[in-house]
Amino acid sequence: VFIWSISNFHDFLNFPPSTYQDSNKHMRVLLDKLYALSGGVAAAFLLAICIAVMLQVGANMIDSAARLITGEPVGLVVPSYSEFTGFFLVAASFLALANSLRHGAHIRVTLLIRGLPSGPRRLIEIWCCTIALAFAAFFAWHSVALVWDSYVYNDVSPGIVAVPIWIPQMSMPLGLIVFTIALADTIIAIILRDKLAFLSSEEDTTTSSNSNISGTGAEE
């Protein structure tokens, strides 16, 4: 049994490049569209923040001009401006998690694993992503409970415009659920040696750095 375990562990470390993406083309397309949709909605919320800020700045400028001309401000204001921009920021942050992960936009510290062989590095990547998956699933579950409590107790936001708080809170469980799916997808991809954006970008950076170092040494 021990020899069989060692043999299978060796096979795992040297697992050949898979045809995971080809054999599961429809699922791959569906997941990529889900991540792209989540990222697109997050971008729309960022645009909404910019529009709200520009409207409020424009209103402040008109008020300042009116004060200089007539001595009295017009009193223009975007209702619940700060609350809505806060809601939009939360939505953009959570909904962008999955798409950012799949495109290698998350900040990763790879100082310890950068020089490791592919097998041990892959094991560490799986371990890290599994821990992240557990945390993401935990927070997704409790964010759903938070939204449900807000709905049951009919909580509303403070400010001029009273919004049922469960509506803006929905972005948290939605973003975390998609992020959890993306992490599970990433773990499977690492196991099957599928090409991942963040690994590709790190490999390109490492190769570029090594080339620059070699070039500098040759010049010296």
pLDDT surpasses 80 at 177: yes
The DSSP result for 99-164, as a single string, is: HHHHTT-S----TTTTTS-HHHHHHHHHHHHHHHHHHHHHHHHHHHHHHHHHHHTT-B-SSSS--B
Q: Give the per-residue pLDDT at 197.
A: 56
Q: pLDDT, tens digit, for every residue of 126-175? A: 898 999 999 999 999 999 999 999 999 999 988 888 899 999 999 999 99
Q: pLDDT, tens digit, for every residue of 88-126? A: 999 999 999 999 998 887 777 777 777 778 788 888 888
Q: pLDDT, tens digit, for every residue of 186-214? A: 998 888 876 665 665 555 544 444 444 44
Nearest one of 148, 147, 149, 133 to 185, comparing CA atoms: 133
Higher pLDDT, 196 or 69: 69
Q: Give the per-residue pLDDT at 24.
A: 65
Work out the mean pLDDT of the chain and round it to a whole number: 80
Q: Give the per-residue pLDDT at 34.
A: 94
Give the Cα separation of 147 and 160 in Å (integer): 22
Are 175 and 136 within 8 A, CB to CB?
Answer: no
Residue 156 pairs in a beta bridge with: 164
Q: Give the per-residue pLDDT at 109.
A: 76
Nearest one of 92, 81, 87, 88 to 58, comparing CA atoms: 81
Higher pLDDT, 130 or 11: 130
Q: Give the per-residue pLDDT at 98.
A: 93
Q: Give the per-residue pLDDT at 120.
A: 83
What pTM value is reported for the model?
0.77
Nearest one of 182, 162, 178 to 170, comparing CA atoms: 178
Q: Give the per-residue pLDDT at 19.
A: 45
Are 173 and 78 within 8 A, CB to CB?
Answer: no
pLDDT surpasses 70 at 2: no
Q: Of the ranges 13-17, 28-32, 71-75, which one carries the lowest mean pLDDT score?
A: 13-17
Q: Give the per-residue pLDDT at 216.
A: 46
Average pLDDT for 41-47: 95
Residues in contact with 214: Cβ distance below 8 Å, sequence separation at least 6, in sequence order: none
Give the Cα separation of 52 and 92 in Å (integer): 14
Give the Cα separation of 49 and 52 in Å (integer): 5
